[in-house]
Amino acid sequence: MYNRRKFIKISAAGASLAALSNSAVAKAISSTTDAGFPIVISTWDFGIIANKGAWKVLSTGGRALDAIEAGARIPEEQDISSHTVGRTGLPDRDGHVTLDSCIMDENGNCGSVAAMENIAHPISVARLVMEKTPHVMLVGEGATQFAVEQGMKKEKLLTPESEKLWKEWLKTAKYAPVMNIENGKKPGDKYNHDTIGMLAIDAKGNISGGCTTSGMAFKLHGRVGDSPIIGAGLYVDNEVGGATSTGVGEEVIRNVGSFLVVELMRQGYSPEDACKEAVRRIIKKKPETAKQIQVGFLAINKKGEYGAYAIQSGFSFAVCNAQQQDLLIKGKSFY
C-alpha cells in the first residue's frame, strides 16, 4: 500500500525540507502576526518552496501578482510525493489528470481554469484567461485549447507512479462523492488533495492570490472543487485582505468560504478569527460530515496580519518575509 506520509521530495530547483533547521520550522507560533511588507503565505508544507519562488519577485520590488504565479508554478512542476498539484497529480476515477486553478489581483481582476487536461501550469493559464480574454473561467477542452493557442506546451500528465497508484485503487474502488477516504486518511488532508493556496502583499501594499490543485484523488470525471472558483477557493479585496482554502471543496463552495473570510475581516475580525468562524459555519451546517473531512482557511489582512484555522488538526501553512524565509506554522483547529 502506498504510504503518503513520506517527506516531500524536491528537485534541485527547490530547497530540501529535510535540510531545514529545527529553528526554521516553527511548531507553535501565534498565527495572527503583523509581519510587514512584502510577505507571502501559502498552505501546507510545500508552501515553503512555493514561497521561495514568490520571494524572488517580492524581494526585488516586484508585483504580488507576478509573485503568486512564480510561486505556484514551483509545486505544479516539482516531483513531489503528495500527488496533488500539477504534473504529478493523481488522476480521476477514469484515469484523467484534470487540473483546477485561479488567480486574482489587487484590482479585482481574476481568471480561472477547471478540469483542464494536458497542461502542466494551470496557474499561468488562469492568468492568461484573466488578461487575454473577456471571461473569468474556461473549462475542460476549451481551457486546453486556449492554453495551446497561447503557446503553452500540451503534454501527458499521468506519470507512471500516478498511473500505478490509480490501478491499485481500481482493484478495491468504492467511490462515494466527497467521502472518498484513502488509506484511512480524512478527505482533504495533506495526504489526499492538499491544494496550494497563496496570498501575497508586495512592497506597495497591494494584495494578490492564487490557488492550484489536481483536486480530489480518483474523483468522478468532471468533478470541480472550490480551487478555481472565485469566492470559494480564493478571494482578494485590496481594501481588506485575501483568503484561500484547502480541503474538501464541496463544503467550501456551499459556504462561499474565502469570500466569507474576507467579509468577516471587513467587519473587524482578525484573520485567524475570520477563518475560525468560516470553519464553524461549515461544521454547523453539516456536523456529521465535518467529523470525517478536512477544510482549512488561510487569510491575510491589509496590515499584513495573517491567520488560519481548520476543522481537523494537521493543517500547516508557510510564511515568508524579510525576517523569516522558511517558516512553517501549525494551524489551529476545532478537532
Known binding-site positions for substrate: 223-226, 246-249
| Cα–Cα dist 80/58, whole Å | 25
CA distance 267 to 239: 12
Write down the residue that cell numbers 474538501 correspond to.
248
186: alpha, beta or left? (left if phi > 0; alpha if psi -120 to 50): beta
Question: How many CA within 13 A on the CB side of residue 10?
Answer: 20
> Residue with C-alpha cell 487540473?
99
SS3 of 1, please? Answer: coil
Residue 314 dihedral angles phi and psi, to the nearest 5°: 105, -15
Q: Which residues are annotated as a binding site?
A: 223-226, 246-249
Burial zone of 151 (CB within 10 Å; 0-12 exposed, 13-18 middle, 19+ buried): exposed
Exposed/middle/buried for residue 42 (C-beta within 10 Å: 0-12, 13-18, 19+): buried
- Distance of alpha carbon 321 from alpha carbon 239, whole angstroms: 21
Distance CA 144, CA 149 (A): 9
Coil/strand/helix, residue 137: strand
Find the catalytic residue in 84, 195, 212, 213: 195
Rounded to 5°, the CA angle 224-182-228 comes to: 20
Residue 301, CA distances (Å) to 53, 263, 285 in order: 22, 11, 26
The DSSP letter of residue 243 is: E
Q: Is 299 helix (H, G, I), strand (E, B) or coil?
A: strand
3-state SS, residue 94: coil
Give me the amino acid identity at 49. Answer: I
Residue 195 known to be catalytic: yes
Provide the annotated active-site residues: 195
